[in-house]
Structures are given as structure tokens and as C-alpha cells.
């Protein structure tokens, strides 16, 4: 009764019932919507957790080379539940990249990037790059041997760019070598610039999603073709579809709970799955560890640079592959979205994924 | 199965496979990578035959190589310039004479040198007694451990009887040190602040190592007992950490189970709306 009174009070002032009807109960999704569509919600939860845990870490973390490692050790050992917050942040950053891969994979396979959703794909692709960027900049924060030397290796890759490469490396590092200025700028980019840009792009991504409407899964025949006529804007509605609330919201919640279960399993039972012992040794610019590699999602890039006779060639191949992926909706103009009816696409996509996995494994063991 | 269902089945199977693939990804770790650059000593001697090349092979498996201590650290000279690598004006010392060996090694290990010189072995230096390299090796320098007190080594000069009694008295302590060291290293590799424990073990181990050159069995036994008591304190501290981590795992198990239960509940509720 009290809740109803409160709801009435809010409704009188904000028109809450209308918003709920339009955005939740009356917001209809495709009838055969599947689980893959919930990955976007999972990613939003992960991003939220990263922001919250990052804010909590900032209470004790000191972005100074003399104090950074000690502050992380303090968080892990002295701050109540500091270990949990830090591990959630570190494991979460890796899992965010993994879930992003899955999200992109589903969009690729279901052809959801196709017209008129080119901008959705493009904003998503930029978000993917930014998430890798925020992970890279955060990787340096603990100022451990692993973070110091992995950052050295990663930033050094830019040196392969002709003419501007060495200047770009120096600009990124704030000097010839990774040092205090690198930590300062990486920290600023990690906690201010990239979160703000990512949040803005997520908002744009969602805005585009709302404007174009949710794409249908590529099932059936007629339904999988894009109904939008070329040359004029139209919202893809789904009469007779599934209400977002409660139906699909419950699917979102199911996926989120499964994700959090997997995430907590790593945090509590295998936190070192993502760390090497070098991650717990303070950075030493005069002692290069024998075994140093970038994070798992950069291993394919790392290996590509190694297998080509020149780093410039390796870098060019990567730039070409990324450009192709970014511009995919503008290249693949066919309206067909069913993966089994796109043999050329399916071959290239599966081949590309296997190549990436192969290079990653090769990079790990090389 | 209809075509539509087949597609959905494929998508679900692919989702499952990708999740498994993502979880099965190995963490970035071992591989050959950047190490210490080779000195000109190594570059030149490794290509030389017999007596001149052998030290390089031996050194590679030594505790010195493991810790980045190269030729020039003991023999002097310029490790970066082939012309000055064996120049005495650049500090090149060459190989020491038998009686000079303790002082040669003692530049970096002064405490051990003192223990050695005060021991029966040290007192016999130059009179047929052993020097550092007799037991520890010269280029293939072995880490100081109780394993060095063995029948093969000791019977080169005398019977093994007393040495065996000393080794037996130290064996338990050595095992405890090795075990505690492994536990500390394991925790350090998981982000536990092991600085205090590590320093404690370092002090205990150093004290224990001073016994390595002692040949008085009674004194070895008495000292080992005191060291064991200190090791027991470290063991208690480690147990506290282990218990805390075990509690975390139990809490984690409940959290994971709770989330899976919640997922099942949401799924069933969704089904009821479908």
C-alpha cells in the first residue's frame, strides 16, 4: 500500500507509469531473441563493477613509483577486504575483454552489424579498442616487474611506425624509458580520460540501439532480412514480441548471475590464473625478467610482430586487419544475416578466430 | 529438428564453446625471453675447446649463473670489451692459487669465509685440507645446502661417520627451512606481504648455514634445536595465513553457489513468463 502510494506520488510528478510502459513492459524485443543478446547487459554490469572497485582502490592507491607497489601490497594485505576489491578489479578487467570478445562474436555471427546498424558496430568497435586501452594503462598501476616490463614491451611496439614511431613511444612514456612520467600519464588516462570516453560511447551505443531498434536473430527466412527500406529512417519494432520487462530482464539477470558466479570462482579459487609471480615483485628497471609477455589479449599482436621479418610489416598487417574489422559493415553489404547462408563470411570469420587463437597460444609458448 | 532450431542449437553450442575457450586460456607466463646479455668472456670462451671452454658450460648450471653473477664478478676484467677482458689494469685477477681461494670467494661471502677459517677445514687450509671449491665446485658453484654433506664428497678426505652424525642432526632443520621457504614463496607469488616472514627466514637460514662449517656434533645439535624453535614460530605465522585463505575459499564457495542458485531462479521465473 505504502509502495503504491509512493509510486502514485512519483507518477504524478514524473509520469513514471508512462516511462515504465514505454521503456520496460511495453518495450518489445524480437520474439525469438536469444541469450547472446544479454551480453551487452553483462558488459554494463562489468563496467559498473570496474568503476566502483576502481574508485575504492583509489582511496589507498598512490600513483607514485616509490609508493605504488607498497600501496597495492597494503591494499592486498592490510585494508579490510582490500584483497577482494583489488582482485575483483584485476580479474574484472580481463573478463571484460573476454566478454567483449563474445559480444562481438555474437554480433558478427548474427550479422547484427549490417545496415542500418553500422554506427552501432563502429561505436562498439571503438569501445573494444578503448577497453583494451584502459586495461593496458591500468596494467602499469601496480608498478610491479610484470607491469613495468609488459608496458615496456607494449609501448615499444609503436616504435615500428616509420618516422613518428620513436617520438610516439617517447610521448606515451613521457621519456625515453618507462618511468615516473609514464605512471603519471597512464594513471590519469586510466582513471579520468578513458572511463569518461567509454561512458560517453556506451551512452551513444545505447542511444543508437534505441533509435534503430533491436535486430532480429538470423532465424527463419523472411524475418532475418532487414526490413528497413534504404534511404529513409525507420525504427525496427517487434509487434507481438517479448516484453523487455519482466521477460528479457530476467534473461539479463540470469546471464549476469552466471557471469558473476564465473567471475567470483576466478577471484576466490584461481586469482593467480591471470598473474605470474613477477606481478608481485616491485618494478626494477635494471633487472629484465627472463619471462615477460603482454596480457593474453595482446599475445596475438605480440606474436604477429615477432613472426614477420620486420616489425613495420607486422604492425601494418595488424592495422589492416583492425581496419577491415572496423569497416566490416561498409564492406559486407549483403542483407543476408544467417551465418549458415554466408559461407564466405563464415569461412573468413572462423578462420580469423582460429588464427587469432593460434597466434595467442603461439605467443604464450614462444 | 527444424532449420530454425538447428541455428539456435548451433549458436548455443558456439556460446558454450567460446566460454570454455575463454576460461581455458592460459595465463601469460613462461617462455624464453629477455635475459642478461652475454659478456665477452662467455662469447669467447664458449667457442674455445677443452680447459678453456669447459668453465662456461659448468657456470651455466651454477647458482651464480642463476643469480646473474658472471665471470667478471669473480675474475675481474672488463666484461664488455674483449681487449680489456683480461687486462690486469682493468681489475682482471685470473684464477686464484689454492690458499687464496677462501679470500677470493670471501669478497662476497665474508661471513661464510669467517666460519670456514675458524673450522677444522679452514685450519687445514694449505695442509691438504679442503677449500671452498672442494665441496662447492669452482665454476659449477652449488648452492649451500645439506646435500653437499654426502659420502662421496666427504670420503675424499676422511671417513663419513662424523659428517653423517652432523648431517642427521641438521636434516630436520634443513627440511623445515626448505618447506617454509616454499610456502613463503608460494604466498609471495599470490600477493601476500611476506617481507617480514622472508626476512625472518633469511636470518634463521643464515644462522643455520654458519653450522655448515662446524664439525662439533654437540654444538650442531644444540644450535639446530634453537633454530627449530624459531622455525616453529614462522610455521605458526604461515598457518594463520593458510587458515585465513581457507576461510576465504569457503566464503567464495558460498558466493558462487549463491549466484548460480540466483541464476537458476531467474531462469525459472523467465520460463514462467514465457
Residues A157, A176: Cα–Cα separation, whole Å: 14
Report pLDDT for A293. Answer: 84
pLDDT of residue B46: 83
**Residue B14: per-residue pLDDT:** 46
Q: Grid coordinates 618516422 are at which residue?
A: A163
Confidence (pLDDT) at A248: 96
Residues 244 to 283 of A: which have CB under 8 A from any B CB? 246-247, 250-251, 253-254, 257-258, 260-262, 264-265, 267-269, 271-277, 279-280
User: What does the pLDDT look like over B130-147, one tens digit per residue?
Assistant: 999 999 988 999 888 888
- Smallest CA-to-CA distance from B86 within B130, B147, B129, B45 is with B45
**Three-state DSSP class for A242?**
strand
Helix (H) or strand (E) holding A243: strand A242-243
Of the ranges A54-63, A155-164, A247-256, which one carries the lowest mean pLDDT score?
Answer: A155-164
- Predicted confidence at residue A230, as pLDDT, reads 59
- pLDDT, averaged across chain A: 93
What is the C-alpha separation between A134 and A130, in angstroms, rounded?
Answer: 6
Torsion from C-alpha of A144, A146, A152, A155, nearest 10 degrees? -110
Distance CA A175, CA B195 (A): 32
Q: What is the pLDDT of residues A179-231, one digit of tens each?
A: 999 999 999 999 999 999 999 999 999 999 999 999 999 874 454 444 555 57
Classify residue B20 as exposed, middle or buried by CB count within 10 Å of its CB (0-12, 13-18, 19+): exposed
Residue of B nearest to A108 (CA): B11
pLDDT in the model for residue B39: 84
Tell me if A91 sits within 8 A of A271, measured CB to CB.
yes
- A:B CB pairs within 8 Å: 156
**Nearest C-alpha in B relative to A277:** B189
A35 Ramachandran zone, left/alpha/beta (phi>0; psi -120 to 50): alpha
Helix (H, G, I), strand (E, B) or coil at B251: helix
Q: Please state, in angstroms and rounded to a whole number, the distance separating the CA atoms of residues A328 and A340.
A: 18
Q: Per-residue pLDDT for B218 more than 50?
A: yes
Residue A274 DSSP one-character state: G
User: Cis link prior to B74 (omega < 30° from 0)?
Assistant: no
- Give me the sign of the Cα torsion angle B80, B82, B86, B90: negative
CB atoms within 10 A of CB B224: 20
Tell me chain B's radius of gyration from C-alpha atoms. 29
Residues of A in contact with B14 (CB under 8 A): 105, 109
Confidence of residue B252 (pLDDT cuts 50, 70, 90): very high
Q: Which residue has the higher pLDDT, B21 or B69?
A: B69
- Mean pLDDT (whole number) for A151-168: 91
Query: Cβ(A184)–Cβ(A338) under 8 Å?
Result: no
Percent of chain B topping pLDDT 90: 43
Q: Cβ contacts of residue B188 below 8 Å, gap of 6+? A: A277, A280, B194, B198
For residue A64, give the nearest of A141, A177, A11, A5 by alpha carbon.
A141
The tens digit of pLDDT for each residue in A229-280 reads 557 888 888 998 999 999 999 999 999 999 999 999 999 999 888 888 889 9
Between A118 and A219, residue with greater pLDDT: A118
Beta-bridge partners for A28 = A243
Contact A254 B270 (CB under 8 A): yes
- Asked if B36 and A287 touch (Cβ cutoff 8 Å), the reply is no
- Using alpha carbons, select from A113, A165, A173, A114 the residue that is nearest to residue A140: A173
Instruction: Tell me the whole-structure pTM to 2 decimals.
Output: 0.79
> Best of B4, B27, B251, B262 to disrupt the A interface by mutation (most A CBs within 10 Å)?
B27
User: Which H or E run includes B57?
Assistant: helix B50-60
Three-state helix/strand/coil letters over chain A: CHHHHHHHHHHHHHCHHHHHHHHHHCCEECCCCCHHHHHHHHHHHHHHHHHHHHHHHHHHCCCCCCCHHHHHHHHHHCCCCHHHHHHHHHHHHHHHHHHHHHHHHHHHHCCCCCCCCHHHHHHHHHHHHHHHHHHHHHHHCCCEHHHHHHHHHHHHHHHHCCCCHHHHHHHHHCCCCCCHHHHHHHHHHHHHHHHHHHHHHHHHHHHHHHHHCCCCCCCCCCCCCCCCCCCCCCCCCCCCCEEHHHHHHHHHHHHHHHHHHHHHHHHHHCHHHHCCHHHHCECCCCCCCCCCCCCHHHHHHHHHHHHCCCHHHHHHHHHHHHHHHHCHHHHCCCCCCCHHHCHHHHHHHHHHHHHHHHHHHHHHHC
Find the range with the poorest average confidence among A214-218, A220-224, A292-296, B222-226. Answer: A220-224
* Fold observed for domain A37-220+242-280: Cytochrome Bc1 Complex; Chain C (1.20.810)
Does the beta carbon of A344 lie under 8 angstroms from any beta carbon of chain B? no
Residue A331 phi/psi, 5-degree rounding, is: -95, -45
Per-residue pLDDT, averaged over B16-35, amounts to 38
User: Coil, strand, or helix at residue A29?
Assistant: strand
Regarding predicted confidence, which is higher, A71 or B162? A71
Higher pLDDT, A358 or A161: A358
Query: For B188-213, how does the pLDDT look when each residue is reduced to its tens digit (9 = 90+)?
Result: 988 999 999 999 999 999 888 888 88
- Confidence at residue B144, expressed as pLDDT on a 0 to 100 scale: 80
Cβ separation B7–A340 shorter than 8 A = yes
Which has the higher per-residue pLDDT, A180 or A287? A180
Mean pLDDT over B95-124 rounds to 91
Measured distance CA(A183)–CA(A148) in Å, rounded? 9
Per-residue confidence (pLDDT) for residue B21, from 0 to 100:
41
Contacts with B99 (C-beta within 8 Å, 6 or more apart), sequence order: B125, B126, B131
Question: CB–CB of A364 and B28 under 8 A?
Answer: yes
User: Which residues are registered as beta bridge partners of B182?
Assistant: none
The top-scoring range by mean pLDDT among A98-112, B6-20, B160-174 is: A98-112
Sort A192 into a burial class: Cβ within 10 Å, 0-12 / 13-18 / 19+: exposed
Per-residue pLDDT at B24 = 39
Instruction: State ipTM.
Output: 0.91
pLDDT band at A56 (very low <50, low <70, confident <90, very high): very high
**Does A250 contact B11 at a Cβ distance shorter than 8 Å?**
no
A102 at the B interface (CB within 8 A)?
yes
Mean pLDDT across chain B: 84
Amino acid at each position: 500500500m505504502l509502495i503504491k502510494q509512493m509510486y502514485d506520488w512519483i507518477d504524478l510528478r514524473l509520469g513514471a507509469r508512462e516511462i515504465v510502459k514505454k521503456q520496460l513492459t511495453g518495450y518489445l524485443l524480437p520474439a525469438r531473441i536469444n541469450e547472446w543478446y544479454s551480453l551487452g547487459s553483462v558488459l554494463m554490469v562489468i563496467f559498473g563493477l570496474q568503476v566502483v572497485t576502481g574508485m575504492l582502490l583509489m582511496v589507498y592507491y598512490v600513483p607514485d613509483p616509490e609508493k605504488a607497489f607498497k600501496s597495492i601490497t597494503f591494499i592486498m594485505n592490510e585494508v579490510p577486504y582490500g584483497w577482494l576489491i583489488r582482485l575483483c578489479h584485476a580479474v574484472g578487467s580481463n573478463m571484460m575483454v573476454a566478454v567483449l570478445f563474445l559480444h562481438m562474436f555474437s554480433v558478427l555471427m548474427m550479422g547484427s552489424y549490417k545496415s542500418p546498424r553500422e554506427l552501432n558496430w563502429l561505436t562498439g568497435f571503438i569501445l573494444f579498442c578503448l577497453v583494451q586501452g584502459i586495461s593496458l594503462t591500468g596494467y602499469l598501476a601496480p608498478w610491479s616487474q610484470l607491469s613495468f616490463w609488459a608496458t615496456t614491451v607494449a609501448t615499444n611496439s609503436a616504435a615500428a611506425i616509420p618516422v613518428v614511431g620513436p617520438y610516439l613511444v617517447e610521448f606515451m612514456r613521457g621519456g625515453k624509458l618507462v618511468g615516473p612520467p609514464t605512471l603519471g600519464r597512464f594513471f590519469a588516462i586510466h582513471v579520468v580520460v578513458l572511463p569518461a570516453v567509454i561512458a560517453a560511447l556506451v551512452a551513444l551505443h545505447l542511444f543508437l540501439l534505441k533509435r534503430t531498434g533491436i535486430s532480429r536473430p538470423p532465424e527463419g527466412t523472411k524475418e532475418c532480412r532487414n526490413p528497413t527500406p534504404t534511404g529513409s529512417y525507420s525504427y525496427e519494432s517487434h509487434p507481438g514480441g517479448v516484453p523487455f520487462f519482466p521477460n528479457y530482464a530476467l534473461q539479463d539477470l540470469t546471464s549476469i548471475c552466471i557471469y558473476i558466479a564465473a567471475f567470483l570462482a576466478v577471484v576466490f579459487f584461481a586469482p593467480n590464473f591471470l598473474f605470474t609471480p613477477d606481478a608481485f615483485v616491485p618494478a626494477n628497471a635494471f633487472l629484465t625478467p627472463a619471462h615477460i609477455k603482454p596480457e593474453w589479449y595482446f599475445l596475438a599482436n605480440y606474436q604477429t610482430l615477432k613472426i614477420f621479418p620486420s616489425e613495420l610489416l607486422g604492425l601494418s598487417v595488424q592495422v589492416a586487419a583492425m581496419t577491415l574489422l572496423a569497416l566490416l559493415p561498409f564492406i559486407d553489404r549483403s542483407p543476408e544475416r544467417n551465418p549458415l547462408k554466408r559461407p564466405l563470411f563464415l569461412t573468413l570469420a572462423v578462420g580469423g578466430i582460429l588464427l587469432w587463437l593460434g597466434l595467442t597460444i603461439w605467443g604464450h609458448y614462444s | 529438428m527444424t532449420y530454425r532450431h538447428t541455428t539456435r542449437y548451433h549458436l548455443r553450442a558456439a556460446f558454450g564453446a567460446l566460454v570454455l575457450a575463454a576460461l581455458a586460456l592460459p595465463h601469460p607466463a613462461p617462455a624464453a625471453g629477455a635475459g642478461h646479455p652475454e659478456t665477452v668472456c662467455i662469447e669467447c670462451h664458449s667457442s674455445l675447446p677443452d680447459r678453456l671452454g669447459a668453465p662456461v658450460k659448468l657456470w651455466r648450471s651454477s647458482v651464480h649463473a642463476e643469480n646473474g653473477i658472471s665471470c667478471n664478478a669473480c675474475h675481474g676484467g672488463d666484461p664488455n670489451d674483449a681487449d680489456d677482458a683480461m687486462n690486469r689494469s682493468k681489475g682482471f685477477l685470473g684464477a686464484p692459487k689454492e690458499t687464496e681461494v677462501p679470500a677470493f670467494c670471501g669478497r662476497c661471502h665474508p661471513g661464510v669465509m669467517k666460519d670456514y677459517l675458524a673450522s677444522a677445514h679452514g685450519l687445514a687450509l694449505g695442509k691438504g685440507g679442503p677449500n671452498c671449491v672442494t665441496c662447492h665446485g669452482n665454476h659449477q658453484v652449488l648452492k649451500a645446502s645439506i646435500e653437499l654433506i654426502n659420502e662421496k664428497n666427504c670420503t675424499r678426505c676422511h671417513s663419513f661417520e662424523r659428517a653423517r652424525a652432523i648431517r642427521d642432526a641438521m636434516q630436520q632443520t634443513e627440511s623445515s627451512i626448505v618447506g617454509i621457504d616454499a610456502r613463503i614463496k608460494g604466498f609471495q607469488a599470490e600477493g601476500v606481504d611476506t617481507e617480514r616472514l622472508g626476512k625472518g627466514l633469511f636470518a634463521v637460514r643464515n644462522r643455520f648455514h654458519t653450522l655448515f662449517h662446524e664439525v662439533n656434533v654437540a654444538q650442531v645439535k644444540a644450535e639446530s634445536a634453537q633454530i627449530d624453535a624459531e622455525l616453529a614460530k614462522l610455521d605458526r605465522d604461515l598457518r594463520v595465513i593458510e587458515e585465513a585463505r581457507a576461510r576465504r575459499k569457503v566464503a567464495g564457495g558460498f558466493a558462487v553457489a549463491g549466484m548460480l542458485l540466483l541464476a537458476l531462479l531467474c531462469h525459472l521465473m523467465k520460463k514462467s513468463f514465457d
